[in-house]
Amino acid sequence: MFDTLSSRLETVFKSLRGRGRLSEADIDATAREIRVALLEADVALPVVRAFVAAIKERARGVEVSQALNPAQQVIKIVNEELIGILGGQTANIRLAKTPPTVILLAGLQGTGKTTLAGKLGMWLKKQGHTPMLVAADLQRPNAVNQLQVVGARAGVEVFAPEPGNGIGDPVAVARDAIAHARRNVFDVVVVDTAGRLGVDQELMEQAADIRDAVKPDEILFVVDAMVGQDAVSTAMAFLDGVGFSGVVLTKLDGDARGGAALSVAHVTGRPIMFASTGEALGDFDVFHPERMASRILGMGDVLTLIEQAEQAFDQSEAEEMARKMAASEFTLEDFLNQMLQVQKLGPIGNLLGMLPGMGQMKEQLAQVDDRDVNRVVAIIRSMTPGERRDPGILQKTRKERVARGSGVTVTEVNQLLDRFAEARKMMRQMAGGAGFPGLGRGKGPQARKQQKKGKGASKKGNPAARAAQAAQAKNKQPGGGAPGFGGLPGGPPPGGLGDVDLGALLKPGAFNPRGPGGR
């Protein structure tokens, strides 16, 4: 959603890099470019004015004029001001002292309130709560049925005493739901209310009546992030008519300019609490202003990537995978399991986009296709357990059978096997610390000392014996791998990624078993 804004800001920052000092003209030009970038992103004009004024004031101050690198200091200022516009700090739900905690969802029709109710219910369940969804939207056709379906998928109970489709009193349903929650020990109640195509008096009165009946602890205004400027005027109308304590952004995976996300929190003074980033029920999380600002500025979002990995990967499995890598026991079966676990994290292009620096490689990321991963999975699944454990037994007839079973050619099977062999070789090097400072036998002083000491070892005089000794030393696998590195939860190696070229992994066809130019 923020690709256009990120690209414009990246262009602005490139013009600043390498300058020893910034003149008044430089600051004015930078502020002007940032203003244009924000206006093109459909950010509300009052927000743009406040943002640019704050940047110009701070850029002319001591923190930039006396900085060793003024350009980087300006980027730091932009990052901090962007965090401020997005709400400043991460906001949490206020839980009631006496359960149940009541959360009321309000917003226009089409913003995704009903689906969001299911996402919020599933998220609350993962946090250890016992949530219940309330079908108080009795006007939109099949709204009650939709909430029941979403609740069943999320594994959350739905209170729906009325069929809806214009039948029933939503205020009475909401009131009865609180009594039902107390009797059945539900500690959080999420009330899904009706919306309209536009703001009108009837909508506001009904939402206000439900609010007065259930006295919610949180009123969340659900806004479609693709709407643009209208989101700001709608938010102000709801703030005046009903009031709300937080904002939820939906459809952040869209290709709109995203100005609403940068405007609503600043204009209303209410924090953005949650964000929905996809169609799946799991595409929902707490909104972190600092992480969103980091993504917009192309700095990545490693913390979110780590959190997602911790949820998707089992720690014991990750440690076992790391042990296998270190012991050269990593098989195609293990590779298949890793691929399936990575798929749980979402589209691979999105995951790579969370890495720092990847914002400058948007074209390469756009070429990463998850269907290529599905082809790899199909090829491996077409093999027998014995073939997965020992790919060396895959001769011509076996490869032909695997190719027929997965709908690919023998050439593509060979390419996958070659890639797997290369990957396993790299894993052995990583497990041994080759090229990774701080990992096992890295490039540190102690490692160099050991290498120097090793050079003095005696060598056989016989050429054949000397060759055998060299082969034995080459195949010997040192220990000291990094537990958890193979499964992400353990995090990156302490010394970083050394000289590994991440860009090479993103070349067209790098994820494609067909190679460059494959379909």
Domain containing residue 228: CATH number: 3.40.50.300
What's the CATH number where 331 sits? 1.10.260.30
The answer on 314 and 293 residing in a single domain is no
The answer on 334 and 287 residing in a single domain is no
The answer on 50 and 144 residing in a single domain is no
Lowest mean pLDDT segment, chosen from 102-116, 198-212, 264-278, 501-515: 501-515
The answer on 126 and 256 residing in a single domain is yes
Lowest mean pLDDT segment, chosen from 254-263, 365-374, 441-450: 441-450
Please tell me whether 444 is known to bind a ligand: no
Residue of higher predicted confidence among 20 and 509: 20
Counted domains in the chain: 3
Please tell me whether 125 is known to bind a ligand: no
Please tell me whether 425 is known to bind a ligand: no
Does any domain span residue 389?
A: yes
Distance CA 369, CA 365 (A): 9
- Phi, psi (rounded to 5 degrees) for 395: -90, -175
Confidence category of residue 72, pLDDT binned at 50, 70, 90: confident
Does any domain span residue 68?
A: yes
Question: Does residue 100 surpass a pLDDT of 90?
Answer: yes
Does any domain span residue 469?
A: no
pLDDT at 498: 37
Does any domain span residue 78?
A: yes
Distance CA 307, CA 488 (A): 10
Residue of higher predicted confidence among 87 and 451: 87
Lowest mean pLDDT segment, chosen from 157-161, 405-409, 456-460: 456-460
| CB of 402 closer than 8 Å to CB of 379 | yes
Please tell me whether 172 is known to bind a ligand: no
Please tell me whether 28 is known to bind a ligand: no
- Chain-centroid distance of CA 280 in Å reads 13
Query: Which residue, 234, 231, 244, 252, is CA-closest to 270?
Result: 244
Q: Which of 255, 279, 299 marks a domain boundary?
A: 299
Lowest mean pLDDT segment, chosen from 156-160, 304-308, 402-406, 514-518: 514-518
Q: Which of 28, 54, 85 marks a domain boundary?
A: 85
Over its C-alpha atoms, the chain yields an Rg (Å, rounded) of: 28
Tell me the residue type at 196. Answer: R
Confidence category of residue 351, pLDDT binned at 50, 70, 90: low
Residue of higher predicted confidence among 20 and 156: 156
Does any domain span residue 94?
A: no
The answer on 116 and 74 residing in a single domain is no
Tens of pLDDT, residue by residue over 352-401, are 555 555 555 555 555 555 677 788 888 988 999 898 888 889 889 999 99
The answer on 279 and 155 residing in a single domain is yes
Please tell me whether 195 is known to bind a ligand: yes
Q: Which of 279, 299, 319 marks a domain boundary?
A: 299
Please tell me whether 253 is known to bind a ligand: yes
Please tell me whether 108 is known to bind a ligand: yes
Q: What is the DSSP letter of 347?
A: -
User: Going by C-beta distance under 8 Å and a sequence separation of 6 or more, which residues neighbour residue 188?
Assistant: 95, 99, 100, 101, 103, 124, 129, 130, 131, 132
The answer on 78 and 22 residing in a single domain is yes
The answer on 246 and 112 residing in a single domain is yes
pLDDT at 213: 92
| CB of 48 closer than 8 Å to CB of 34 | no
Distance CA 383, CA 406 (A): 9
Q: For residue 433, count CB atoms less than 10 angstroms from its CB and return exposed for 0-12, middle for 13-18, buried for 19 or more.
A: buried
Query: Which residue, 283, 264, 282, 280, is CA-closest to 272?
Result: 264
| CB of 148 closer than 8 Å to CB of 203 | no
Does any domain span residue 239?
A: yes
Please tell me whether 113 is known to bind a ligand: yes
Mean pLDDT for 474-502 is 38
Q: What is the DSSP letter of 167?
A: B
The answer on 166 and 275 residing in a single domain is yes
Does any domain span residue 67?
A: yes
What's the CATH number where 49 sits? 1.20.120.140
Question: For the chain, what is the mean pLDDT?
Answer: 75
Residue range(s) defining the domain that contains residue 174: 101-299
How does DSSP assign 235-274, residue by residue?
HHHHHHHT--SEEEEE-TTS-S--HHHHHHHHHH---EEE
Residue of higher predicted confidence among 226 and 360: 226
Residue of higher predicted confidence among 160 and 360: 160
The answer on 126 and 13 residing in a single domain is no
The answer on 442 and 358 residing in a single domain is yes
Please tell me whether 192 is known to bind a ligand: yes
Please tell me whether 404 is known to bind a ligand: no
Does any domain span residue 246?
A: yes
The helix (H) or strand (E) run that includes residue 250 is: strand 246-250
Question: Does residue 305 surpass a pLDDT of 90?
Answer: no
Please tell me whether 4 is known to bind a ligand: no
The answer on 112 and 60 residing in a single domain is no
Please tell me whether 251 is known to bind a ligand: yes
What separation, in Å, do the N-terminal and C-terminal C-alpha atoms of the chain show? 27
